[in-house]
Amino acid sequence: EEDDQVRDWLADVSDMMRAYMYAPGSNITTALHEAYLDLGAFGTSVLFIGERDAGGLLFQTRPLNEYYIAENHEGVVDTVYRNTIMTARQVMQQWPDTASEYVRACVTRTDKLDEPVEIIHAVQPRRERDGGKLNQENMPWESIYIEMKTRSLLEESGFPEFPYAVPRWSKFAGEEYGRSPAMTALPDIKMLQEMERTMAMA
C-alpha cells in the first residue's frame, strides 16, 4: 500500500479480472444465482468454470442429479463425474471427428436427430503425466468424455486447474455431499403440505 506503482498494477489487474468475469456471454450472474439456490435447497452446488468456444470465460451451474463427487485426503473435492443426456445432433456438433457410428447413423435420419445419447464426463487428477510438457494430455487434471452406449472415447484433454467449484452448505464429518437449511425444515414443509391437501379436499 506504500508503493504507488504496486497499487496501480493491482488496480489494473482487478479491473481486468472483473472485465473477463462479467463480459457478455460469461453467464456468471445467472450461474451464481442458480448455485445459491441449489445450496439453499440441496446443500451442494456444482459450478463449472471453463472457456467459451468463441473465447472468454464460461460459468455454468449444472443440475446436481447429474453429478458424482469425490474428495481428496484433505477433504477438498477434486473429482467430478457427470452423467448427462445429449441429443445425437448435439453430440455430432461437439465431436464431429470422434462420434460413434451409432450417432452418425442417427443424424442421417431426420426422425433420429433428437435421439438421446448418454454421455459421461470425468474430471479427476491425472495419475501419470510429464510435468515438463504443457499439452492437453499432460495437464494436472484429465478430462474424458465417453459415449456410454458404444463405450466410445469422444475426447481426452485436460485442465491446468480444477474447473469445478463445489461448495457445500454444511456437512457432518465423513460426508461428501452437503446438508441444506431446507433439510432442517423438511418435516415442517411436509406437514404444511398435508394440511393444505386436507383443506383443499374439505
Residue pair 134/148 in contact by the 8 Å Cβ criterion: no
**pLDDT at position 134:** 78
Residue 174 grid cell: 465423513
- Distance (Å, whole) CA 22 – CA 10: 18
User: In sequence order, what DSSP letters do the residues of 132-201 get, joined into one string?
Assistant: T--SGGGSSEEEEEEETTTTEEEEEEEESS--EE--BSB--TT-SS-B-HHHHHHHHHHHHHHHHHHHHH
**pLDDT at position 132:** 80
pLDDT digits (tens, 9 = 90+) for 68-82: 999 999 999 999 999
pLDDT digits (tens, 9 = 90+) for 79-115: 999 999 999 999 999 999 999 999 999 999 888 889 9
What proportion of the chain, given as a percentage, has pLDDT over 90? 78
pLDDT band at 16 (very low <50, low <70, confident <90, very high): very high
Helix-helix angle 181-201:28-42, to 10 degrees: 80
**pLDDT at position 110:** 83
Model pTM above 0.85? no
| Mean local confidence (pLDDT), 44-61 | 92
- Residue 7, pLDDT > 90, answer yes
Residue 36 grid cell: 445459491
- Distance (Å, whole) CA 65 – CA 57: 24
- CB within 8 A of 112, min separation 6: which ones? 88, 105, 106
**pLDDT at position 138:** 86
**pLDDT at position 136:** 81
Give which of 46, 50, 77 is closest to 160, Cα–Cα: 50
- Residue 131, pLDDT > 80, answer no
When comparing pLDDT for 132 and 43, which is higher?
43
Residue 71's H or E segment, with its range, is strand 67-71
Residue pair 67/82 in contact by the 8 Å Cβ criterion: yes
pLDDT band at 173 (very low <50, low <70, confident <90, very high): confident
pLDDT digits (tens, 9 = 90+) for 159-172: 999 999 999 999 98
| Mean local confidence (pLDDT), 102-130 | 91
Give which of 125, 122, 149 is closest to 67, Cα–Cα: 122
Residue 115 grid cell: 435421439
**pLDDT at position 128:** 86
| Mean local confidence (pLDDT), 6-24 | 94
- Distance (Å, whole) CA 181 – CA 198: 26
